[in-house]
Amino acid sequence: MTLTSSDRQQLNYIASQAADARVNVEIETEGMTLNIGPQHPATHGTLRIIAKVDGEQVVWAEPAAGYMHRGYEKLTEVRSFPQVTTLVNRIDWLGSFANEVPFILAAEKLMEIEAPPRAQYIRTILFELSRIANVTLFLGDMAAQLGALTPVFYAFRDREYVLNLIEAATGGRFHPNFDRIGGLKDDLPAGFIDETRAVMKKMRSFCTLMEDVLLGNEIFQQRCRGIGVIPKDIALSYGLSGANLRASGVNWDLRRDQKLPMAWDKVDWKVWTHPDGDSFARYWVRLQETRESTLIVDRLLDSMPSGPIMAKVPRIIKVPEGEAWVSTENPLGEMGYYVVSKGDTGPFRVKIRSASFNNVSIASWVLKGVLIPDVITILASLYFILGDIDR
C-alpha cells in the first residue's frame, strides 16, 4: 500500500494526538527532567529546552528563552531613525541586511518617500543574498544535527562566497548597516555583477549537491519523514511563518503577496510549498527556496535599471507623526516592525516582530510525545537564530 503525503500527514497527526492522550492517561511513572542546553550545539546559541521525559519519550517540553535578551525595543527609543539599523542588524545575525529593510521601509512609509528604482533593485538583491547566506548554513547544519558532518563544511565553504559579495558591496560581512532612509549608502562596486553571477552558479550547484547527498539518503529520510508534523491550522494559529509555514502547505509568501517598494514583483519566480509539514518538508522547502533566490538574483541583475540610488531626503531626518507596520519575508520568516513616530528624529516606539519568536513558541506543542533524538531534528528543522528570539 502506498500512502500519499496527505494521508501520511493525517496519520502522523493522529499518532501525535494519540501520544498526547497516552501520556495523560497512563499511570504516571517517575519521570525525569532533562535540560537540553543552554550550551547544546543543536540550539544555535543559548536556547535551553526543559523537557520532562518518560523513558525515551518527551512528556512535556518548554524552551526557556532570554539568555540573550538585549532590549532593542527600549534602545530604539533613545536612537534616531538612521541609528536603528545598527541595532536591528544584530537580530538575525546570519541575514543582517534583511533585518534593516522592513524598518527602513516603515520609516519611508511614514515619510511618504520611496527609494529610486535602482536602489530598490539593489536592496532586493542584497536581501536575497542574505537569505542565501543564511539558509545555506541551515542546509548544512541540519545534517550536522543528524550526525553527518560533511555537508556543514560544504555549507561554510560556499556561504563564504556569498559573504564576500555582501562585503564587497557593503563593507561588512555580517553587519552591513547599508540601508538608508530614501535609498542606499553606496552603489554596487565594479565587477559585482559578473562576480555575483558566478557565485549564484556555485550556490545552485551547492543546492544540487545537498539534494544529492542528503535528500535521497535513507538515514536522513528516516530521521525526518513524518517527524515533527505541524498541521496547517496549528501553524497559522501559532503564527509560524516563512518556510516553516509553507512546509505545512500554506501558499503564502510576503514577497509575492503584498505591495512593497521592492523589486520582487519585477521578475518571475516561484513560491515553493510542501504538504507534509514534517522536518523533511521544512528542509525541502528551504532548499528549493535557496535555489529560487539565486534565480531571483540572476534575473534582477539582468533587468537592473540605472539611475540614482538615493532619493532626496533632508539631512536631519524627522519622521512625521503616525504609525506604520511593514513586514517582509526574511530568511527565517516574517519579520516586521511596528513603528510609532511622534514627529521627532527618533521613533516613539518600535515593536519588533521577529520570526523565530513565533517559530520557537510552537516547540512545546510539537515536542510533546516525540522521542529525545527527534527533539534535535525538530528544533533544527524549525530553524531559529537566538538573536531573533531574544531581540
Question: Which residues sit at the interface with other proteins, rule CB under 8 A?
Answer: 5, 65-66, 69, 71, 73-75, 77-78, 109, 201, 204-205, 207-208, 211, 233-234, 236-239, 245, 250-252, 256-259, 270-275, 284, 288, 291-292, 295, 314-316, 318, 322-325, 327, 334, 336, 338, 340, 342, 346, 348-349, 351, 353, 357-358, 361-362, 365, 390
Q: Using CA atoms, how far apart are residues 95 and 289, in angstroms rounded to an integer? A: 15
CB of 8 to other proteins, least distance (A): 13
Q: Using CA atoms, how far apart are residues 146 and 141, in angstroms rounded to an integer? A: 9
* Positive or negative torsion for Cα 109, 110, 113, 118: negative
**CB-CB contact of 274 with 249 (8 Å):** yes
For helices 117-145 and 192-210, what crossing angle results, to 10°?
A: 30
Q: Using CA atoms, how far apart are residues 139 and 143, in angstroms rounded to an integer? A: 7
CB of 55 to other proteins, least distance (A): 25
Contact residues for 1 (Cβ-Cβ < 8 A; gap 6+): none
CB of 139 to other proteins, least distance (A): 14
Nearer to other proteins (CB atom), residue 83 or residue 372 = 83
CB of 293 to other proteins, least distance (A): 11
CB of 74 to other proteins, least distance (A): 6
Nearer to other proteins (CB atom), residue 5 or residue 93 = 5
Nearer to other proteins (CB atom), residue 253 or residue 374 = 253
Contact residues for 332 (Cβ-Cβ < 8 A; gap 6+): 92, 95, 134, 242, 354, 355, 356, 359, 383, 384, 385, 388
Nearer to other proteins (CB atom), residue 22 or residue 74 = 74
CB of 69 to other proteins, least distance (A): 4
Nearer to other proteins (CB atom), residue 266 or residue 349 = 349
DSSP letter at 344 equals S
Nearer to other proteins (CB atom), residue 174 or residue 348 = 348
Determine the 3-state secondary structure of 311 from DSSP: coil
CB of 89 to other proteins, least distance (A): 19
Nearer to other proteins (CB atom), residue 207 or residue 309 = 207
**CB-CB contact of 115 with 108 (8 Å):** yes
